[in-house]
Amino acid sequence: MADPVPVYEKQYHVGLGDVDFQKKLKISALFNFFQDIASLHAEDLGVGIDRLMNGYGVTWVLTRIRVDINRMPHLGEDIIIETWPQLPKRLEFDRDFKVRDSSDNILALAASTWIILDIGTRELKKTEAIPINYPFNPRSRAIDCRLGRFRASGTPEVAYQKVIGYSDIDINEHLNNSKYIDFIMDCFSLEEHGQHGIKTLEISYLNEALPGDRLTLYKDLTASDTGLVYVEGCNQNNIKSFKAQLTIQPRPES
């Protein structure tokens, strides 16, 4: 019987550029950490971004992710992130994450789904298009859930608009997955962020957002009394780029 897929582990330091006005790690910065360690592990497994682009003309793209947060680390804190993949499906690759503090407490868990995209045609490719050499004995999931099964509770209302520019774009020449998180967070005032923290965030990346696109951000607070908030973004052609659901909770009084 094959050994389980090895867990890849890396320590991250929460620096000034990673935190918000409350000196807590921004969720977008956590997504950057996830992207970094997923890339490093993929390279270690022989399917890193350079090999995929140069050898197969494809690239990794994150399509769905859910993060359950117990506590966000603070400025100056060192954290450990672990990641491991699941068995490839026909079109998708699942990857999980665990975030721990220096005392081994679990700070956050995440489950994600990735695809490979042809960099020329932008078409989805089957998982068999790339070599998968790691053992096929899966580990348990970080979060036992089915991603993407959510929708607005009411009618979303316009929050603001954003034009996609140079600083928003990644190596795939589209809006980076962590930037969507910043856009979502900007739907809410500093006062609202000060009053409520985020317990869970799930996002589905539906269509690429490209340089020059004008995204309109919508939010639905219909179910906010139960802790659920919905956010989506549509481009100038009314094509939905993403949808997200947040579970919020009041912050404890200091």
Mean pLDDT, residues 100-124 taken together: 95
Q: Treating both helix axes as pointing N-terminal to C-terminal, what angle do 27-44 and 177-185 enclose, rounded to 10 degrees?
A: 170
Q: What is the pLDDT of residue 252?
A: 79
What integer best gives the mean pLDDT of the chain? Answer: 93
Average pLDDT (84-102) is 94
pLDDT of 87 > 90? The answer is no
Judged against a pLDDT cut of 80, whether residue 132 lies above it is answered with no
Single pTM value for the model: 0.94
Q: Which helix (H) or strand (E) holds 111?
A: strand 106-118
The pLDDT value given to residue 14: 98
Angle at 50 between CA 45 and CA 52, to 5 degrees: 70
Domains of the chain, by residue range, sit at 8-129, 157-250
Say which CATH architecture domain 157-250 belongs to.
Answer: Roll (3.10)
Tens-digit pLDDT profile for residues 203-244: 999 999 999 999 999 999 999 999 999 999 999 999 999 999
pLDDT of residue 254: 57
Residue 2 is predicted with a pLDDT of 62
127-130: Cβ within 8 A, 24+ apart: 127/88, 127/89, 127/90, 127/91, 127/92, 127/93, 129/56, 129/58, 130/47, 130/52, 130/56, 130/58
pLDDT at 135: 63
Give percent of the chain above pLDDT 70: 96
Reply yes or no on whether the pLDDT at 136 is more than 90: no
Q: Are the CB atoms for 127 and 93 separated by under 8 Å?
A: yes
pLDDT digit string (tens) for 157-166?
A: 999 999 999 9
Q: Please, which pLDDT band fits residue 131 given cuts at 50, 70 and 90? A: confident
Q: With 70 as the cut, is the pLDDT of residue 134 above it?
A: no
Task: Please tell me the least confidently modeled range out of 41-50, 107-116, 182-191.
Answer: 41-50
Q: Tell me the pLDDT band of 140, cut-offs 50, 70 and 90.
A: confident
Please determine, looking at this structure, whether the domain spanning 8-129 carries the CATH number 3.10.20.520. no
Whether the pLDDT of residue 1 is over 60: the answer is no
